[in-house]
Structure 1
């Protein structure tokens, strides 16, 4: 049973993160969700989760700024006190940024940004939060189908997500003495505002992507949020160090 557990979900104000918070709320899991700029959206998600019967709180965090993580951990500690506890159970490193650069157009600044958010941020935020995670807890890191296959304009995004997958396996090994399981969810194209809403708002893009997907459509946020929530539940307690692609069978 997941009821009574507490999750921390980065990037919980929209898209996959929003879905994850709300699906967890259905299981009775309380949440601390983070946002970077979308405070109003994050507070709306927290209110919806609370209405569903699972207390939720939104905190601001820039996952690309590792220098802020110590202060953020202190805020989490204070928030947990408000939940009448000292530790939480689940960490979902979901927050991210997109990139459509090619080998010829990629800049050093853009690549540094991807690294800071998707790799350095995941590593050092997890490090700072480890003292607050219960033994026997669970971590889900977010990768991408693009870690497995190549597409034009993803010269930075795909490889950095492949690095996240390697990082996750190493996390699983090092956290094994604390019985903390670490898994990866790798979404395919999802109809959100990610990448400027390209997949969500462009029917032609949806058509092309659907042609390369066995189940014949692009993904929706709940397609992924349900899987993340499931991976955090006791039903998947013996699943560890695994990559689960949630892409409807794209490029198989």
Structure 2
């Protein structure tokens, strides 16, 4: 049986990086993408290779659908040259950016950016990569606990994440005949540099998150990367169309 290959968007840092490393630890090879910081991405590739796995970093802006066809062509060439195969096994739509603005203050440009990055990008990138995704493969889309509970200032971000959750159920239904399972992982508040690092670096925010979380702390990247890696293991093939919140029981 050939080594599984996963493609993870936005894996040069944060949750995408952690997921890539967790998958590498379980014997999965990686294609990771980055938008701007090539040095970060190549450092992640080096870490993956140090774990004994193959890895490649490719540049991609998930907000710009005009580049998706060319990106798919590059992925096809990389699969042929580095893995001597035509398809990969797992797609993790992770790349994203945050927005904190009230409904009254949110600009149309900010709203469009959230849609382009988190919803339109996920829809059309997945569409372009479907011919390269193996039958029996898996897709994991990233949502947010904010699609279930509400915090002022997160409306636009949360609304498009809600759209991702609906889209994922449709993907699961339409791709089921190919044996492809599609699920959503919805992180709670995680201590990373996301959103300016507010959960990680602001003690008051971190303490508030801990106070409303059943397990008594803010989340860590390992909590999310480990959950995604677990979901992609062979024993989880019968889970599809599900929203799996990984929040430690935030705002139950």
Structure 2: gaps of 5 or more residues: none
Whole-Å separation in 1 of the counterparts to 2:13 and 2:220? 12
Q: Paired residue for 2:60?
A: 61
Distance 1:53 1:177 in 2: 34
Asked if 1:245 is matched to 2:230, the reply is: no
Q: Which residue of 2 aligns with 1:52?
A: 51
Per-residue CA distance 1:22-56 (angstroms, 9 max, x = gap):
01101110000000011111111111111101101
SS at match of 2:33: strand
Summarize deviations over 1:151-183 as a string: whole Å, max 9, x none.
011010111101100000000000011010000
Q: When the two structures are superposed, what TM-score results if normalisation uses the length of structure 1? A: 0.98
Structure 2 match to 1:111: 111
Query: Following TM superposition, by how much is the alpha carbon of 1:139 offset from its aligned partner in structure 2, in angstroms?
Result: 0.2
Note the C-alpha offset of 1:84.
1.4
What residue number does 1:75 align with? 74
- Residue 219 of structure 2 corresponds to 219
Q: What is the rounded CA distance, in whole Å, between the counterparts of 1:88 and 1:191 in structure 2?
A: 31
User: SS where residue 216 of structure 1 aligns?
Assistant: coil
Q: How does 1:1-252 map to 2 (within 5 A)?
A: 4-81=3-80, 82-252=82-252
Alpha-carbon distance between aligned partners in 2 of 1:227 and 1:161, rounded to the nearest angstrom: 18
- Normalised TM-score (structure 2): 0.98
Give the CA RMSD over aligned residues. Answer: 0.9
Within 2, Cα distance between the matches of 1:202 and 1:85?
Answer: 46
3-state SS, counterpart of residue 70 of structure 1: helix
Distance 2:119 2:212 in 1: 28
**Structure 2: how far apart are the matches of 1:223 and 1:96?**
18
**C-alpha separation in 2, matches of 1:89 and 1:20:** 15
CA distance in 2, matches of 1:13, 1:190: 17
SS in 2 for 1:156: helix
Q: How much has 1:130 moved relative to structure 2?
A: 0.3
Question: How many residue pairs align between the two structures?
Answer: 251
- Note the C-alpha offset of 1:203: 1.0
Rounded to whole Å, the distance in 2 between the matches of 1:232 and 1:66 is: 27
Cα offsets for 1:193-246 (capped at 9, x unmatched):
100111111111100111110111100111000110111111111100001000
Question: How many angstroms apart in 2 are the aligned matches of 1:251 and 1:201?
Answer: 21
Helix, strand or coil: the match of 2:155?
coil
